[in-house]
Structure 1
Amino acid sequence: MAAFGLHEVLGDTLRNGRGLSRQIQPVLVAREQGSFRSSTGLQVTPEQGLHVECADVVVVCDIHLDQDESPQGRWREEIAWVHRHIAAGALVCSTCSGSVLLAEAGLLDGAEAASHWSMADLFRDRYPTVRFRPERILCDSGRAGQLITTGGASAWQDLALYLIARFCGAEEAARVARLFLLGDRGYGQLPFASMARPRQHSDAAISRIQAWLVDNYATPNPVSAMIERSGLSVRSFKRRFSAATGYTPVEYVQALRVEEAKQMLEREAVTIEEISASVGYEDPTFFRRLFKRRAGVTPAQYRQRNRIRGLPA
């Protein structure tokens, strides 16, 4: 269920988002606080009832509605609660079929809206003024960005990243995406992986080189420069560097460069060629091959899957 997924993912900003200027504290709300079973038989225990009046964000999760079942007259208390929140300036969102409740509330009249594709006939027949967009994953449904609807059952993941980016920043959204493997998972886990943290060590000469490399990884012939700055022989430097960090010098430089390239692909509207040159590779073809080997996808594919939805292109 979307409610549980959203609760866990959004709550990670509170548990592990240290240093954020803003964090998200999710609360599961229902008409009654007593435990009940969902349409799939899963037990749900709300944390609060509809007396909550101070939420900054309201997410209406997917609802169960049989094909021959009319939404007319349903969710009166929930609709009144949503109306109070949107009147107070809260951001109101829906996942999957939750947009039916927003449509029933009249909030989507004249606006575009996403929902599960199976809701197309219902929207056409009951909500003819709503411009139903079954192809959309995430849709700004108006009121100056105050209404957000999303598509099918797994679109809650896109909503989670959108909300984290909007309230906590793109960097936090990217961290959460990598942690929970959110996004297109067709290429496995490698596109979500970050550079493994070098092991702790006491080799002062290698530590100095690592510190220097943070700001100089794009320098030409970096391994030669590292060896020269260390004052060690080539053989001794390579042996000590590998023992201290767990990487060969070349692998370490490549990992740093690819990680920086990932950050640029996530946040900046620059060409692959510009990114390649910026991280130290004058040959963009070589850069693309290296990036795919380390990240599992091409730079273009990584950008497509990791640029946060809702942020400027």
Structure 2
Amino acid sequence: MAHKQDGDIETLILALPETAGSALYGMIDVLAAAGRLWQEMVGTEMSGKSFRTRIVSLRKNTFRCGNGIPVHPDVVVRDDPPCDILILPELWLAMDEDLSGRYPELIDWIRAKYRAGAHLYSACSGSVLLAATGLLDGREATSHWAYADLFRTHYPKVRFQAEPNLVFADPGGRIVTAGGASSWHDLALHIIARHLDPEEALRIAKVYLLKWHGEGQLPYASLVRYRPHADSVVRKVQDWLAENFAEPAAVTQAVSRSGIPERSLKRRFGAATGSTLIHYVQNLRIEKAKRILERESCPSEDVAARVGYENPAFFRRLFKRSTGLTPAKYRSMFRPFRQDHHAELAE
């Protein structure tokens, strides 16, 4: 347990059986280093403030969280420990796993902490738990992009944003949600900048080689996700499009092959997939373009033609709108990894 000193910022990080250990201990490590580690490395005076970071849970005894990682809580919810900051890290949840009703005591406690003035921060799927408190109702929030359907289904009052890496739910910044997986890096840097000093956040980023994901989540998100349904006609169209999305007039051909009127198909397609037919085709094409850019060095004009677009300028606009990056920037972001990875496999 971190011992309290004058000027410490009381920080609690919640741990549950569903918690991802990497985010839990990563946040503890980075916040504990703030105001101290850089100063030790370069021989300067320690910062006057620091985070007193403790693990809070529903029970005091040691348990194992996600992937069997052991957790020994410092404090428990029923004792109502004080905090200036409460962090809800990533949870290992299925893409349709709703937390409503699972932790009623914890939900009430989180609400009470917010009413008492605490800042609430969630990383990745931690925002699913935050949504279950109702504190995000009518407010913008983010999480991993793969939880977009879960929010639409179970938390429709939350204005879910899949693109940003950090979303401020309120003007005062007392509720902040972070995007997917390693976005806890961005969240930790934000917390350090907000509660200690922006310069200290930069120093910690240098020490830990943390990268601010200014590009958001769009470059990492899959535009095509399978949504189970029982409409055999729509499934037949999806199967055909999976192989023929680059065909000229793919939408017209799909309607013709469906054997039902265009209006009926579009209505049924939207109900079954949650997407319009044209948007579905565009997503298939952009996903294919991403794979080409990751693996090959051909010009973007050739990429456009291969995925079904005769107008390269239109393709580039659509690609940027879908991924947040131009084709060239997307290639520079992901192509080096592909080259290095394949080179390692070849050795």
Question: TM-score normalized by structure 2?
Answer: 0.51
Instruction: Report if aligned partners of 1:33, 1:49 keep a CA contact under 8 Å in 2.
Output: yes
Partner of 2:146: 118
Rg (Cα) greater in structure: 1
Q: 2:29 & 2:80 partners in 1: Cα distance? A: 20
Report what 1:59 is aligned to: 87
Is 1:181 the counterpart of 2:202 in the alignment? no
Match of 1:11 in 2: 32
Distance 2:82 2:24 in 1: 19
Q: Which secondary structure does the structure 1 equivalent of 2:25 belong to?
A: helix
Say whether residues 1:139 and 2:167 are aligned partners.
yes
Q: Percent identity?
A: 41
Contact 1:14 1:25 in 2 (8 A): no
Write the distance in 2 (CA, Å) between the matches of 1:68 and 1:96.
Answer: 15
Q: CA deviation at 1:39?
A: 2.5
Shift in alpha-carbon separation, 1:8–1:140, aligned structure 2, 3 A: same
Q: Which runs of 5+ in 1 are unaligned?
A: 186-313
Distance 1:24 1:129, change over 3 A: same
Matches within 5 A, 1:263-278: none
Structure 1 residue 68 displacement after superposition? 5.3
Q: Report deviation, 1:22.
A: 2.0
Q: CA deviation at 1:26?
A: 1.1
Q: 1:129-208, aligned counterparts within 5 Å?
A: 129-142=157-170, 144-183=172-211
Deviation of 1:97 after TM superposition, in Å, equals 0.2
Equivalent pair of 2:96/2:147 in contact (CA under 8 Å): no
Compute the displacement of 1:15 (Å): 4.0
Whether 1:20 aligns to 2:47 is yes
Q: Secondary structure at the match of 1:129?
A: coil
Q: Which moved more, 1:10-19 or 1:106-115?
A: 10-19
Q: Which amino acid aligns with 1:91?
A: H
TM-score (norm 1): 0.56
* Structure 1 residue 116: Cα displacement: 0.8
The answer to whether the aligner puts 1:36 opposite 2:63 as a matched pair is yes
- Please say which of residues 24-33 and 10-19 is displaced more in the overlay: 10-19
Residue identity in the other structure for 1:40: N
More strand by share: 2
Q: CA RMSD in A?
A: 1.9
Residue identity matched to 1:37: R
State the AA in 2 paired with 1:58. L
Amino acid at match of 1:5: G
* Shift in alpha-carbon separation, 1:20–1:52, aligned structure 2, 3 A: farther
Of the candidates 116, 128, 136, which is equivalent to residue 100 of structure 1? 128
How many Å apart are 1:5 and its aligned residue?
A: 0.3
